[in-house]
Amino acid sequence: MAELAAQPTVLVLDDEKNIRHAIQIALEQEGMHVIAAHDVASAARVLDERVVDLMVLDIRLGEIDGLAFFRKLQSEGSAVPTIFISGHATLAEAAQAMKVGGFDFLEKPFSAEKISVVARRCLEHASLQQRLRAMQEREGMGEIVGDSPLIQRLIADALKVADTQASVLITGESGTGKELVANMIHANSSRRDAPMVKVNCSAIPENLIESELFGHERGAFTGAHAPRRGMFETAHRGVLFLDEVADLPLGAQAKILRALQHGEIQKLGAERTLRVDVRVISATHKDLKRCVADGTFREDLYYRLNVVPLRVPSLRERRRDIPLLVNFIVSRLCAKHNLRAKEVDAEAMHELEQYSWPGNVRELQNLLERVLIMSGDRITVLDLPEEVLAVDDPADAKPMGQSSLKDCRDQAERDLILATLKQHAGNISRTALDLHVRRPYLHRRMSALGISKKDYFGG
């Protein structure tokens, strides 16, 4: 969840005294400071005199409608996160309220619980957006999203080494964003105007890797019909990024070592060497020290590459960054797919924060893209795939050896859920608590196992 101010200030603008009073009581019970205004003039004075974190605004006011007031604030650059309310608004007005930038629309009458939940959600969303803006305004960060201590230390270390000529070895699990760190180093270095040539060492066949890296002359081997520049030569005066460097064959490793030691390369089939000025940044998800011990990676090359080591933390090590990442990715994907801006509700965000993310940021991005395309106006816990919700049941994550064992397990699980439901008179929340699972996951398992109300109510 986003961190809120100690006591956020809420401005409630409604011309009905009873409504203002009811909203004020509900929000003050949530620890918010509420200022009530009965007309636009008094609301404008409040906004002139102090910082307001949230506004609850009636669409239908006396002398001026709420939408017009909101647009005026926008034109003056002083609009605040706003929840629109109305008892008489048309569907067109409600849609317009959301289109101009309202966070949500509530139709009167609404419960105290409803306005409290929406207000808190709006404040959390605004807090996340503020953190995102602050993060993006920091120089040099590029697309690295996060304000957790681990990610801030990584950024600080990367910026320290950026404008040097030192080789950098970036390590971390797959999907953590090692290439983004390499991009940031290059963008903040004196070589920023020169090319950054990227090589995926695991994607090039072993018999072609030397030609790709160092180039070849015509006739150097069968099929070499024309001379070709290699990636070292292309990266002259710039940066060569060796991704998955642990997968380099030993023969290529020896030539890379020579290039780093002497600043020289030799094309396949060439008699002369070429001088190159290349800074090497490398990355791997493997343990290079273990690769050295296993004899699959040269020790001397390891020390050449590992002048400055940077480790990118896994997503589960920086869970506080997940809401920031989710909002950043959702905003980007909505623009990419021409979708209306969508919000991830609090319960869904909680589930995303609890999941272990073995595929890290890449997995998060892929999941959000799928969910965004298939969901409605708001992403809820019901839109999330089962693997994200099943963290309380490790057995579900393990493949079953035989279908007969799975059938036995499913039957045992069905019997246990039914017995617990009957014990709690069908109360889903108490049943979930008793079974040590989350309520959304229990709903999904009940659906998968074909459990309906008649099974535990007997009717």
Looking at residue 291, what is its pLDDT? Answer: 96
Amino acid identity, position 173: E
What is the per-residue pLDDT across 396-442, written as a single tens digit (0 to 9) for each? Answer: 444 444 455 656 777 888 888 988 888 888 888 888 888 877 777 78
Specify the length of the chain in residues: 459
The pLDDT value recorded for residue 408 is 75
What are the pLDDT digits (tens) for 235-252?
999 999 999 999 999 989
Distance CA 61, CA 52 (A): 20
pLDDT at 45 over 70: yes
What's the CA gap between 301 and 292, in Å, rounded? Answer: 10
If one compares 113 and 95, the residue with the highest pLDDT of the two is 113
Q: What is the radius of gyration, based on Cα positions, of the chain?
A: 29
Q: What is the pLDDT of residues 99-141, one digit of tens each?
A: 888 888 898 889 999 999 999 988 888 877 776 666 555 544 5
Residue 331 neighbours by CB under 8 Å, 6+ apart: 341
Q: Which residue, 106, 100, 23, 103, is CA-closest to 69?
A: 100
Kindly indicate the confidence band of residue 392, based on its pLDDT and cuts at 50, 70 and 90.
very low
Burial of 373 (0-12, 13-18, 19+ CB in 10 A): exposed
Residue 65: its pLDDT value, please? 80
Q: Which of the four pLDDT bands, split at 50, 70 and 90, describes residue 231?
A: very high
Span 265-287, pLDDT tens digits: 988 888 888 999 999 999 999 99
Contact present, 2 and 124 (Cβ < 8 Å): yes
Displacement of CA 428 from its chain's centroid (Å): 31
Task: Please say if the pLDDT value at position 191 is more than 60.
Answer: yes
Give the chain as a 3 state SS string: CCCCCCCCEEEEECCCHHHHHHHHHHHHCCCCEEEEECCHHHHHHHHHHCCCCEEEEECCCCCCCHHHHHHHHHHCCCCCCEEEEECCCCHHHHHHHHHCCCCEEEECCCCHHHHHHHHHHHHHHHHHHHHHHHHHHCCCCCCCCCCCHHHHHHHHHHHHHHCCCCCEEEECCCCCCHHHHHHHHHHCCCCCCCCEEEEECCCCCCCCHHHHHHEECCCCCCCCCCCEECHHHHCCCCEEEEECHHHCCHHHHHHHHHHHHHCEECCECCCCCEECCCEEEEEECCCHHHHHHHCCCCHHHHHHHCCEEEECCCHHHCHHHHHHHHHHHHHHHHHHCCCCCCEECHHHHHHHHHCCCCCHHHHHHHHHHHHHHHCCCEECHHHCCHHHHHHHCHHHHCCCCCHHHHHHHHHHHHHHHHHHHHHCCCCHHHHHHHHCCCHHHHHHHHHHCCCCHHHHHCC
Tell me what the pLDDT averaged over the chain comes to.
86
Q: Which residue has the higher pLDDT, 440 or 159?
A: 159
**CA dist list (Å): 49 to 14, 40, 42, 52, 70:** 19, 14, 11, 9, 17
Residue 339 pLDDT exceeds 90: no
Is-contact 205 164, C-beta < 8 A?
no
What domains can be seen in the chain, in order of their start residue?
9-136 (3.40.50.2300), 149-311 (3.40.50.300), 316-384 (1.10.8.60), 399-457 (1.10.10)
Higher-confidence residue of 151 and 51: namely 151
Q: Tens of pLDDT along 194-215?
A: 989 999 999 999 888 989 999 9
Q: How confident is the model at residue 20 (pLDDT cuts 50, 70, 90)?
A: very high
